[in-house]
Amino acid sequence: MDDDNEQVVEGTGWIDMPGFGRINPRRDNFEGGRQFFTAMTDNGEFAKATGDSITGGPETFRYEPDLPFLLADRSGRCFEVTISFLVGGRYAVKYRPGDWPGGATGGW
């Protein structure tokens, strides 16, 4: 990620991402641990997501920690996002402006 445009937010549960919305990263203990996230835009819609390191959707996705993926809203705002584990069950969410593949986020 380009450190000049990168923002970092930390927390548990729903974590605010100023300029986009909020994200809820979490994990379970099934099969050694799976990581999930749900993301909402500022207007209360589920965010669209894509990337080599995520699966699932359209509302909740599985992700791999420390690997980037893209989130977008209906208006075309797109961010490259990386979720990392912190001590005590907290998460760090790093994000910066990104480019959706093909230049458009498409319909919901």
* Three-state secondary structure readout of 3-47: CCCCEEEEECCCEEECCCEEEEEEEECHHHCEEEEEEEECCCCEC
- 2 domain residue, yes or no: no
Instruction: Report d(CA 25, CA 60) in Å as an integer.
Output: 10
- 108 domain residue, yes or no: no
Over residues 74-84, the pLDDT tens digits come to 998 999 999 99
- 50 domain residue, yes or no: yes
Q: Is 57 helix (H, G, I), strand (E, B) or coil?
A: coil
DSSP assigned state of 64: -
- Structural domain span for residue 46: 7-103
Instruction: Report d(CA 11, CA 23) in Å as an integer.
Output: 10
Q: How many domains does the chain have?
A: 1
- 1 domain residue, yes or no: no
Over residues 24-66, the pLDDT tens digits come to 999 987 776 889 999 999 999 999 999 999 999 999 999 999 9
